[in-house]
Amino acid sequence: MTTSHYIAGRWVEGQGSDCISVNDPALGQPFAELMAASVAQVDQAVTAARGALPAWKNTSASERAAYLRGFAEQLGQRREALITLQMRNNGKPRHEAEIDLDDAIATFGYYAELAEQLPSKNRDVPLAAPGFSARTRLEPVGVVGLIVPWNFPLVTSAWKLAPALAAGCTVVLKPSEVTPLIEQAYGQIADALGLPAGVLNIVNGKAETGAALSNHNGLDKLSFTGSNSVGSQVMRSASAQCRPVTLELGGKSAIVVFDDCDVGQAVEWIVAGITWNAGQMCSATSRLLVQDGIADALLPRLQAALEQLRVGNPLTEEVDMGPLTSQAQWLKVAGYFATAREEGLQRLAGGKALDRDGWFVSPTLYADVPKDSRLWTEEIFGPVLCARRFATEEQAIAEANDSRFGLVATVCSADPERAERVADALEVGHVWINSVQAVFVETSWGGTKGSGIGRELGPWGLSAYQSVKHVTRCLG
């Protein structure tokens, strides 16, 4: 694959020094490769976005909405190919890949509706002072760089791309080098829809490409989803230009189970929170806080449920969980298994790499994990669950909040008032009550503390790509 970059409405060959190998994690083997974009090509992409901005931001709201609906329709028309690619490059089971695609389609549809409502966002502002009047004008922030991760390609890019286009911004999208293929669908759709050249640009590459984009002085905003270590570099790049950033970073989230819960339901919610996408989620609820009164009944049931999960190649087997997406992530998780052995943690399930081709690990559960354990405090990004017991509601809240992260949490309780009270007390951006991690485009996404800056999805996602201007006039 040579024409892997979409710049100024044309597919072009990569001119960078890095060759990107695209792997099937279930086999541990490459199935495609492409050349990265050069620094010069990143500059060309930003220049194209800058050139397209004046006309695009002045298109009507209904015209931008029509393009967004076109993206949703075209994604649906490519359904089977995109699902298969998500399974092959990410290792996702089919049901997860289907949900990813449906999420992306819903995101474009939702922001098409918000785009049509934009004219109503301009409004007069009443002033207390006589002799003056004022109005608010919402404008696109400008040219934005979008850097997206490998764990939810297609989805995370939709969360950024759809509101940015709806707001009237032009964009340069940089996919992860681990999963660079599926986002090319957006360039193909732009061609099919006749999206004006330069409105959407896609450059693939590794760290050099990402740095060239985040350091480029032609951007007005950066939006990044990924690790805290890279996020801090992106923030430093933005600080040199004093430009805004949206950062969706890591998590070490808690799931709190009170002793009035139905054990079977609690097990279902816990398993989903740690094994969806093989635990490769910033929102994975990897810290289990279980109340004393239910712990002895729940932990054996949870152990059995994890051991019964079918782990395998989603393209050839009926599976509940696929492989880790990259060898680097497989080695990282294996390193935490070694750390658990060194710390003498009590292993109830898993704790090992599977003896088969590909980058597979077993769903893992450790019990009575000390609060100072690396496995309790650090984001692992794999299907590794650590459990601790608590006695009181106050203790559960304190231990759940005792983290440098604050992305999400789950509360499981048959007492609605207690569940709502605990949800309000948790220092996170999103809380589920008695539920799997259902994410809806109408709700916000983002965290507190070290989990990032800003919000995506919902009207907040659109606001992230808008600038507020006030116009004040003297009436005298």
Task: Give the sheet arrangement for strand 5-7, strand by strand.
Answer: 10-12, 5-7, 200-202, 170-174, 143-147, 221-225, 245-248, 452-453
- 19 phi/psi in degrees, rounded to 5: -100, 125
Three-state SS at 23: strand
From the CB of residue 70, how many other CB atoms can be counted at a distance below 10 Å? 18
Burial class (CB in 10 A: 0-12, 13-18, 19+), 200: buried
C-alpha 232/C-alpha 229 separation (Å) is 5
282: annotated active-site residue: yes
The separation between the first and the last C-alpha atoms of the chain, rounded to the nearest angstrom, is 65
User: Which listed residue (116, 177, 183, 248) is catalytic?
Assistant: 248
- Give the list of residues 6+ apart from residue 279 with CB closer than 8 angstroms, or none: 286, 380, 381, 382, 383, 384
Q: What pairing do the DSSP bridges indicate for beta strands 364-367 and 19-24?
A: unpaired
**How many whole angstroms from its chain centre is CA 369?**
28
Kindly state the tokens that stand for 476.
């005298």
Residue 123 to residues 59, 144, 313, 476: CA-CA distances in angstroms? 19, 26, 54, 21
**Residue 156: which residues within 8 A CB-CB, separation 6 or more?**
148, 149, 225, 248
- Return the structure tokens found at 150: 């490998």
Compute φ and ψ for 241, nearest 5 degrees: -100, -5
Ramachandran quadrant class, 8 (left: phi over 0; alpha: psi -120 to 50; beta: rest): left
Dist. CA 302–CA 285, nearest whole Å: 14
Mapping DSSP onto H, E and C, the string for 81-115 reads: HHHHHHHHHHCCCHHHHHHHHHHHHHHHHHHHHHH
Taking the C-alpha atoms of residue 412 and residue 475, their distance in angstroms, rounded to an integer, is: 58
Catalytic annotation, pick one of 169, 282, 386, 412: 282
- Residues marked active site are found at 248, 282
